[in-house]
Structure 1
Amino acid sequence: MKNVRAFRGLALTGVAALGLIAMTPALAESDFVTGNGTIAANAAVDFEINVPRFIRFQVGSTGATQDLVSFDVNANTMGDGNDVAATTNGTLGVSLLGNVGDISLDATTTGPLSNGTDSISWSEIIASSDDAALDVPAIVDSATGAAETITANVGNSVVNRNAAWTFAYSNTDIVGAGTYTGSVTFTASNP
């Protein structure tokens, strides 16, 4: 009986010792050198940096503010085909930063601009960028338009681009009176 208790006690001591060994922190490499003349001892240390994947994309105001781009069409020039500049937020600052390589940028709408009765196609909205490397993606009615590929410009994996996007109304049709509204969601994603 005493031998069984002693064996169990020895086994528990061994398990406890293994647990302590498992909890011992890893130490840097060490080197011990002896001799005459010039001697050197080397110790290497490994480093690791974990960087998360991210995309930060901004069109217009920062935070949760959703900007309104608005146009006031003059009745005397309605439908004459001359572009109408925006009266509010005609140019929006755009910033795209990401470390995932090339970034796909697209635009999605749920339908044409509407006053509740009549509609104006998104094709009437002219969008341009002051930087072709961060161009405005195609805006189409009730769908996601063709994507623009924004290429990495810092090393092989980082996109860090800024542009100004300008919007105008092409004014090619005579449409019913009213306030036409719609929304575009621009999405930046890793293809």
Structure 2
Amino acid sequence: MKNSLLLKSALALAMAAPLLASAESQLVTGAGTATARLDLRVVIPRVLFLGVGSGAATPLANNGSINTLTFDYSTNPLDVGTGAAAASISNDGPLPGGNAVPVRVFGNDGQITITATNPANLTSGADTIPFTELSVTTTNAALPAPGFNGGTSLPTLAGRVTNQTANWEYSYANATTPAFGTYSGRVTYTATMP
């Protein structure tokens, strides 16, 4: 019985030995040197980040705020349809404000593509202004703004890492004379990485 218990204990210990963590060691008696090795690892997660407006100031975290950029002709209504700029251009997002919206893109696994999707029109009830009346440019050629209606852009990367910031500046052409109202429409920017 003792032999059976001893055999079972030895077998259990032998099976568990590979599961035990052990560091390398070497014992040298007399002259010589002893060496021990250690493997090191650094784990970098795959990351893709796109922030527009308030989200651009967030340090690679989620931010659910959707900012609004407004071209307001309330104080210069006779300029509607003439191509003149709005007397007031406001942005409820962070600095710089006005028609400029901060943007940041970060990714670490190859070329990022940013795509813009939006409805055909801004709407106010049944009245519309075509999205083609709006345009966007960038302050940083390394982070181009995609055009509306499915436009795409390719931010500049270094190796396989993209880390770019810019201000995207929006314009309203004011080439038509729509009926009165507050016209709204949303553009959605989507970043993809291979």
If the length of structure 1 is used for normalisation, what is the TM-score? 0.81
- Output one character per residue of 1:102-131: Cα deviation in whole Å (capped at 9) or x when no partner: 211111114411112121121111211100
Residue range with higher mean Cα deviation, 122-131 or 25-34: 25-34
- Aligned residue number for residue 87 of structure 1: 89
SS at match of 1:128: strand
- Aligned residue number for residue 190 of structure 1: 193
Change (3 A) 1:148 1:31: farther
- Aligned residue number for residue 153 of structure 2: 148
> How many matched pairs?
178
- Output one character per residue of 1:147-169: Cα deviation in whole Å (capped at 9) or x when no partner: 2111313xx12211110111110
- Aligned residue number for residue 104 of structure 1: 113
1:136 to 125, 138, 145: 145
Q: Aligned equivalents of 2:120 and 2:4: distance in 1?
A: 76
Report % sequence identity: 28
Q: Aligned equivalents of 1:115 and 1:176: distance in 2?
A: 9
SS at match of 2:89: coil
Which residue identity does 2:79 align to in structure 1? T
Gaps of 5+ in 2: 56-62, 92-98
Which residue identity does 1:182 align to in structure 2? G
User: Contact conserved, 1:85 with 1:168, CA < 8 A, in 2?
Assistant: no
State which structure, 1 or 2, has the greater radius of gyration over its C-alpha atoms: 1
Higher relative contact order (CA 8 A, sep 6+): 1
Which residue identity does 2:82 align to in structure 1? D
Q: Following TM superposition, by how much is the alpha carbon of 1:83 offset from its aligned partner in structure 2, in angstroms? A: 4.3
Q: Aligned equivalents of 1:33 and 1:92: distance in 2?
A: 70
Matched, 1:28 2:34: no
2:47 to 54, 57, 62: 54
- Aligned residue number for residue 165 of structure 2: 162
- CA-atom RMSD, angstroms? 2.3
User: Contact conserved, 2:119 with 2:131, CA < 8 A, in 1?
Assistant: no
If the length of structure 2 is used for normalisation, what is the TM-score? 0.80
- Aligned residue number for residue 77 of structure 1: 79
Q: Aligned equivalents of 2:45 and 2:153: distance in 1?
A: 24
Task: State the 4+ residue runs in structure 1 displaced beyond 6 angstroms.
Answer: none
Which residue identity does 2:89 align to in structure 1? T
